[in-house]
Amino acid sequence: MKQRQLGGLIASGTTFAILAYFAHRLPYFPQDLNISQGIQQFNGLLPSLMYGVSMTSSFIPAAIIVALVTVWLGKSNRRLEAIILGSAAVVTALAIVPIVKSWVGRPRPAPDLVLVMATEPGESFPSGHATFVMVFYAFIIYLLPKLIHHQAAVKIIRGLLIAFIGLTFTSRVYLGLHWASDVLGGFFLGWLVLIVMISIYYYYLPKFSRRSENAGTS
């Protein structure tokens, strides 16, 4: 693992651990309530947008998207990318996030504090949606130059994915499903997993490349 990646891993892990510790002790942070109430002042078409964005990263739609992208990568001779992306998404969603949620045990925002526009089971910290989009879409953002060779297309798709990640973060708070600190926890947990994914990718990439070259000459 490169020194920069190791530094990012330590920084992300430390920040997430601090957030998780205080989330375990506090039902919400002092600024969480102000952020939620401030965001929820906006209406118009925003609720429909927030519902739609949030639904895209819910379990069934997210599972379908992961499966489709993983299959596409595999058929595009990007088996290493498919393995890492699919495995990380599954392990994070089914193991890492539930374990952390269970340990922290923070309740979701209460309707007497904020407007709760949707309900979901389980604990609040960290946001599983925020973690997922960081693990899945941020890794795609990282891979894009290797997947698409048109620079302008890479920039456009990256911009769209970054906007989608930001909207997902906002939607979880806007709908009253999470506090802002839950989303921040999801960001750092996702970033932590992302660094591990990139490190594994660079470690195994030369081996997969040699294997592909040998298969092509045999």
List residues with catalytic annotation.
Answer: 129, 178
Q: How far is CA 46 from CA 109, 146, 176, in A?
A: 20, 35, 14
Cis peptide before 126 (omega within 30 of 0): yes
Q: What is the DSSP string of 129-179?
A: HHHHHHHHHHHHHHHHHHH---HHHHHHHHHHHHHHHHHHHHHHHHTTSS-
CB 28 within 8 A of CB 109: yes
51 burial via Cβ count (<10 Å: 0-12, 13-18, 19+):
middle
